[in-house]
Structure 1
Amino acid sequence: MKCIAAKRRDNRLLSTPCQLLHYSDPDRLGLRVRHTVAARAAAQNWVRRHAAVGVSNPIAAAEIANRASLIAWELMDNAHQHSYSGAPDQTLTLMLERSRYLLSITVTDAGPTPGCKKLSFPEQKSHGGGLGWVASLSFYWDWDGCAGLPVTVKARIELP
């Protein structure tokens, strides 16, 4: 499944699962992902294809691609469950950013659901799951955001 969106005149996504985002920095890649399992699966496959670009050791490349795709799935799933990105026709932004020794997987959600009175920020629960998986698969993870605004969660993987 390709991650390129057909658009209407008002630039809203149609039935395609995700839309490629373009950045001037060649080490930064991004997608806008709709709230569907098919969209998350397409985005996860996209991460698997792009995460280990430039890693010459095939075993290390496979490990990085696998870990990055699992992290991306968990971060997208959390955003779809706990933010307005989970509403019909809403999206989140998934980004891969490569530096010399790190790969960052970043997901930015659409903020809290309208009328939400509970302030919810990403936290790793003691029983694991979600961000527990992210913590075990990544070198480091953190988040950035303010009450009532979109939240960005970033996980980093070390590169060889």
Structure 2
Amino acid sequence: MRDSKSPSRTPNTHVGRYPRALRFSEPARHGILLGPTREYRALSAWCRNMLPVQGTRLARITRILVTNSHQHSRSGLPGGTVRVVLDQSRPLLPHLYVTDQGPRDTIRPQYPQLNPRESASGLAVLNRLALSWTPSWTWDGNRIQQTTVEVVLDLS
């Protein structure tokens, strides 16, 4: 017999539990949803599982982008999330997508951009490790809702 005061189990019982695997209908797409905390062990393990031969490089790239998301976006605030998706439909050129919840400062938003004077910055390291990377964002007419960085890896 169930206590009437205890919450019933619904599909939303996993809300707030991170990291969480993301499921896609396409077999070549895999993802993980991270919370606002900077706990990267599960992320590193996920990267090594996705690309066993290049897992360390993928983990380094992903950690750079997730760290930037936690530092510069609303994803690092309580309740924030960072979505990481790896699309392996092009086996030698997998695409990584890291999506955060947009800039914290809506008056003067900062976009991911490479500063040539900072050769040790995360984006400078990303620039050396990836074939290419491109930031984009979704706009709702009032503010940036999400920022996504697409990274193309060369596995040839």
- TM-score of the two chains, using structure 1 as the length reference: 0.79
- The Cα shift of 1:10 comes to 6.5
**Greater CA deviation, 124-133 or 72-81?**
124-133
Identity %: 26
State the alpha-carbon separation in 2 of the partners of residues 97 and 75 from structure 1.
16
Determine the structure 1 residue equivalent to 2:32: 31
Determine the structure 2 residue equivalent to 1:51: 51
2:149 is the counterpart of 1:153: yes
The counterpart of 1:104, out of the listed 95, 106, 116, is 95
Does the residue aligned with 1:107 lie in a helix, a strand or coil? strand
The counterpart of 1:92, out of the listed 82, 103, 112, is 82
Does the residue aligned with 2:25 lie in a helix, a strand or coil? coil
Q: Check conservation: 2:73, 2:102, Cα contact below 8 A.
A: yes
2:114 is the counterpart of 1:124: yes
Q: Check conservation: 2:94, 2:153, Cα contact below 8 A.
A: yes
Residue type matched to 2:96 in 1?
I
Root-mean-square deviation over aligned CA pairs: 1.9
Larger radius of gyration: 2
State the alpha-carbon separation in 2 of the partners of residues 150 and 144 from structure 1.
8
- TM-score of the two chains, using structure 2 as the length reference: 0.81
Unaligned runs of 5+ in 1: 1-6, 53-60
